[in-house]
Amino acid sequence: MFKDSERLAYYVMILPGLALLIAFTFVPLAYSVIAFQKFNPALGVQGSPWVGLDNILYMFSLRDARQVFFNTVFIATMKMIVVLVAAVAFALLLNEVRFLRIRRSIQTMVYLPHFLSWVILAGILRTILARDGLVNDFLGVFGIGPIYFLGQPNIFPWVIIFSDVWKEFGFEAIVYLAALTSIDPTLYEVAELDGANRAQKMRYISIPGIAPVIVLVACLSIGNVLNAGFDQIFNLYSPIVYSTGDIIDTYVYRIGLIQGQYSLGTAVGLFKTLVALILIGVSYWTAGKFANYRIF
């Protein structure tokens, strides 16, 4: 039934993808050995001297590196929490809107920022958050400000967190809306007959109905604790806010590619890769255990 020619065809089909995967993912992984060298581009990987764990140890001794690690975890974690809460709240409220056409229009409005790049959104944010921008004009009405949102270290991380909420909350709500639609409508009808009000129906039917999805999303987020959003921060930060806004990815870019400390940049990146792999393992394990999730 299954001829060799058929199997051969499958190997031929998968070959180009496999070759590209090796060339652009596994070859760079092999290149990561320069984390254990004092790499010099002129000498290449073969010619550069080996230094053992020096780069790794140096990385741990840098005060910058510790701050950057903390910033990354803080921003990424707060983003996950705030986006999740906003998305769930939005989905629960949107589910209460009975006018279907209005519901669609609201979705159309809130999904749009998700599809725009951080370059565009950062350009827009820089304009509206400027001293004479839209936001400060609005706050001015209440006698607040002006606040320099992108230039104050204590405010900057929150600008990052809430601008991410702006971009993603609507889109993140899609999975919760889908879960809400799949709740058996007779549950609500029975509850109404028992005299349950709107808040009670939400509390005892809707929220338990989407709880498994919330758990799943939370579990899968664990793998992203070190991804605080390079594109976003890279396009919004400046040296004034490095103390609270610099993250691992932006730090690696600056020391590795701008300053040309290839080995140190690779060491920091490799450390991140390893921790991320462990976290993703943990996230899939918890997602499988608590939410019965499998990727395929």
Partner 1 sequence: MVHRSTTDRIVDYLITALLILVGVTALLPLVNTLAISLSDKAAVSGGMVGLWPVGFNLDAYGFILRDDKFWQAFGVSVLRVLLGGVLNFVLAVMTAFPLSRSTRAFPARDLFMWFFVFGMILNVGIVPWYLTVSSYGLLDTIWALVLPGAVPIWSVIILMNFFRSIPKELDEAARIDGATPWQLLWSIYLPTSLPALATITLFSIVGHWNSFFDGLILMNNPNNYPLQTYIQQLVIADRPALHGGQAALMAQLSNNTLNAAKLFVAMIPILLVYPFLQRYFVRGIMLGAVKE
User: How many residues bind partner 1, per CB under 8 A?
Assistant: 92
- Binding to partner 1 (CB under 8 A) within 191-230 occurs at 192-193, 198, 223, 230
Whichever of 246 and 249 has its CB closer to partner 1, that residue is 249
Q: Which of 66, 81, 200, 231 binds partner 1 (CB under 8 A)?
A: 231
Q: Whose structure tokens read 């639609």? A: 181
Q: Of residues 68-107, which lie at the interface with partner 1 (CB under 8 A)? A: 90, 93-94, 96-99, 102, 105-107
Q: Tokens at residue 97, please?
A: 């809107």
Nearer to partner 1, 2 or 142 (CB): 2
| Beta carbon of residue 213, minimum distance to partner 1 (angstroms, whole number) | 10
In degrees rounded to 5, what are phi and psi of residue 229?
Answer: 100, 80
Among 13, 43, 85, 240, binds partner 1 (CB under 8 A): 13
246 to 265: interface string for partner 1, x by CB under 8 A: ---x--xx--xx----x--x
Matching residue, tokens 């400000």:
145
Does 53 interact with partner 1 (rule: CB under 8 A)? no
| 105-124 positions binding partner 1, by CB under 8 A | 105-113, 115-117, 119-120, 122-124
Q: Does 21 bind partner 1 (CB under 8 A)?
A: yes
C-alpha closest to that of 202 among 193, 214, 211 = 211
- Binder to partner 1 among 11, 42, 46, 143 (CB under 8 A)? 11
26 belongs to the binding site for partner 1 (CB under 8 A): yes
| CA dist., res. 5 & res. 192, Å (int) | 63
- Residue 44: C-alpha distances to residues 49, 51, 53, 97 (Å): 10, 15, 19, 63
Of 62, 73, 74, 126, the one binding partner 1 (CB under 8 A) is 126
Query: How far is it, in rounded angstroms, from Cα 272 to Cα 230?
Result: 14
Cβ-based nearer residue to partner 1, 117 or 285: 117
Residue spans of alpha helices (H) in the chain: 4-21, 27-31, 44-47, 54-61, 63-96, 100-115, 118-128, 134-141, 156-181, 185-193, 198-201, 207-221, 230-236, 242-245, 248-252, 262-291
Whether the CA torsion 280, 285, 291, 296 is positive or negative: it is positive
Dist CA 186 CA 201 (whole Å): 12
CB of 128 to partner 1, least distance (A): 5
- Chain residues 27-46 in contact with partner 1, contact rule CB under 8 A: 27-29, 31-32, 34, 41
Considering only residues 129-188, where is the footprint of partner 1 by CB under 8 A? 132-134, 137, 166, 170, 174-175, 178
